[in-house]
Amino acid sequence: MRNKMFHFFWIGQSFANFGDVFYIVSLITYLYHLTSKSMATAFVTFLVTLSLSISGIIAPIFFEKFKLKIILAYGQMFKTILLMILCIYINMNIVSNVWLIYTVVLCISFFDGISNPIKSSLIPLVVKREEILKANSMLNTLDQFIKLSAWPIGSLIIAFLSPAFLINMTLLLYMISCFFMFLLNIEETSKRENVNRKGTKKVPSSMSIGWKYTFTNQHSKSISFMTLFEGVGNGVWISAILYVYVKEQLHLGEEWWGYINSIFFGGMVIGGFLIIKFNKFIEASQQTIVLSTPFIIATVTFLFGNEQYAWLSLFWSMIYGITEQFRFVSLQTILQKNTEPHLLPNVFAVQGVISTITFGVSTLLLSFIADTYGITSAFYTSALCYIISGLISYKNKEIWKNEEQNLKNVTTTLKQ
């Protein structure tokens, strides 16, 4: 954890993550000022989801051709250049066509879709094996803290200054992140077998290698099916459904919508600190965490969906955030430790595509259920999805044991 490369990595990613939130906040506000239409701002989310899905599918082509640190550094550089072009246009007041903004959104999200799997894949290369869980928790806690703080900070900057100022600030953050990404000097221990394949005939093979491995490796296969159902269940916590929940279930004002979201991210941060503090105990309890967290989240979701008291809804939201952090970090660490190192980015790309697509589907599905059968029905559906995920986890309970548990089993068997 005192590794210089790890510090370059988390500092660079923190600046990039702050910039990503500021850039979305500023663009949404700028688009609304430009068009006065909410559809114009909602289209940003659609384009981000679409671009992330496409780039996640074709990302393995880049993984085979280039080193991961090169993709990460140059991806951030290209994002910076794109934002710089947009800043020039906005500062000169010559942006009158929203399609220029949409094009930048598409391109930046495209580079994010390629870079995101790499961020998780590099962790085992920059920290010791016994510190992977702690590193994952630290990075994810930072990410949640940034999400918790960047939105209100960005909104205040826009309120007192302007969207253009926030976009310029984002450009500065991107530049600093780019600097740290180019400082990374990571030895990638495993060479990819197909690094010299440059013919277009090999493109389908490059794109499918992660999917093939995912469904032959027991750990990644189980996690993928769990992610599929949990991704659908997680859709009930999106802002649109929570807004209806606050209005129809709690009969409160919009400010409670913000409170619930903030408490959830706060719970994620608390969970992250707990994992960092008690990382040895958490790692020793890995199997218990993976087996229990889906059922805990299902119970919390059910109770939250039926809650009539506002303060208790905040409590359930915090518990959900803490539990989700434990679940996410544990599964991410298991995937990193039980996947061939040179295939990690491909596997994480598959996980990203599954998460993105299920998020899009669940948004529509659960919104439809909420509108047709009532808001509580959407939460019941979500709880059912987490129960199914828990059953998948329980069916494969032996694979969740950590290395110490497996070593004890082997030792016991040898003695017998």
Query: With 90 as the cut, is the pLDDT of residue 142 above it?
Result: no
Query: With 70 as the cut, is the pLDDT of residue 368 above it?
Result: yes
The answer to whether residues 240 and 351 belong to one domain is yes
The answer to whether residues 174 and 215 belong to one domain is no
pLDDT in tens, 27-71: 877 777 777 665 666 677 778 888 888 888 888 888 888 888 888
Whether 322 maps to a domain, the answer reads yes
Whether 138 maps to a domain, the answer reads no
Whether 195 maps to a domain, the answer reads no
Whether 333 maps to a domain, the answer reads yes
d(CA 275, CA 385): 26
Residue 394, pLDDT score: 92
d(CA 100, CA 86): 8
Confidence band, pLDDT 50/70/90 cuts, at residue 178: very high
- Lowest mean pLDDT: which of 73-82, 285-294, 364-373? 364-373
* Model confidence, pTM: 0.79
Query: With 90 as the cut, is the pLDDT of residue 254 above it?
Result: no
Residue 203, pLDDT score: 62
The answer to whether residues 263 and 404 belong to one domain is yes
Whether 101 maps to a domain, the answer reads yes
Sign of CA dihedral 308, 312, 314, 320: negative
Domain of residue 302, CATH code? 1.20.1250.20
What's the one-letter identity of residue 125?
Answer: L
The answer to whether residues 165 and 239 belong to one domain is no
Please compute the mean of the pLDDT values over residues 67-87 and round it to a whole number.
89
Whether 390 maps to a domain, the answer reads yes
Whether 189 maps to a domain, the answer reads no
d(CA 40, CA 74): 30
The answer to whether residues 176 and 244 belong to one domain is no
Q: Looking at per-residue confidence, does 185 or 218 come out higher?
A: 218
pLDDT in tens, 314-340: 999 999 999 999 999 999 899 988 888
Whether 149 maps to a domain, the answer reads no
pLDDT in tens, 84-110: 988 888 777 665 667 788 888 888 888
Across the chain, mean pLDDT equals 82
Range of the domain at 20: 4-133+155-181
Query: With 80 as the cut, is the pLDDT of residue 344 above it?
Result: yes
386 C-beta neighbours (distance < 10 Å), count? 27
The answer to whether residues 231 and 369 belong to one domain is yes
Residue 50, pLDDT score: 83
Residue 205, pLDDT score: 67
pLDDT > 90 in the chain, percent: 19
The answer to whether residues 29 and 163 belong to one domain is yes
- Lowest mean pLDDT: which of 8-22, 118-132, 159-173, 198-212? 198-212
Q: Count structural domains, the chain.
A: 2
Report CA-CA distances (Å) from 126 to 5, 7, 340, 395.
6, 9, 16, 33
